[in-house]
Structure 1
Amino acid sequence: MLPDGIEGLVCASAQVADRLEHVVVHGRARPYPVLGLYLVAERAEEARSVAHEVCRRTLTGHAMHPEWEVVGAELPVTPSPDRWPEPDRPPA
Structure 2
Amino acid sequence: MYLVHVSLHAPAGPAELPDDTRELLLAAAVTEEGIEHVSVHAGAVPHPVLGVFVLADGLEDAEERAQAFCRRVVALAPGLTGWRVRGAQAPLVAAFYERLLAGPGPAGRNGPGTIPST
Tell me if both proteins adopt one fold, taking TM over 0.5 as the criterion: yes
The structure number with the bigger radius of gyration is: 2
Are 1:46 and 2:73 matched, yes or no?
A: no
Matches within 5 A, 1:7-86: 7-63=22-78, 64-66=80-82, 68-77=83-92
Task: Give the structure, 1 or 2, with the largest relative contact order (CA under 8 Å, sep 6 or more).
Answer: 2
Match of 1:71, SS state, is strand
Write out the 4+ residue segments of structure 1 that deviate beyond 3 Å after TM superposition: none
TM-score (norm 2): 0.62
TM-score (norm 1): 0.78
Match of 2:87, SS state, is coil
| Structure 2: segments with no counterpart, 5+ residues | 1-15, 95-113
The aligned length equals 81
2:29/2:35 contact within 8 Å kept: yes
| Structure 1: segments with no counterpart, 5+ residues | 80-86
Percent identity at matched positions?
36
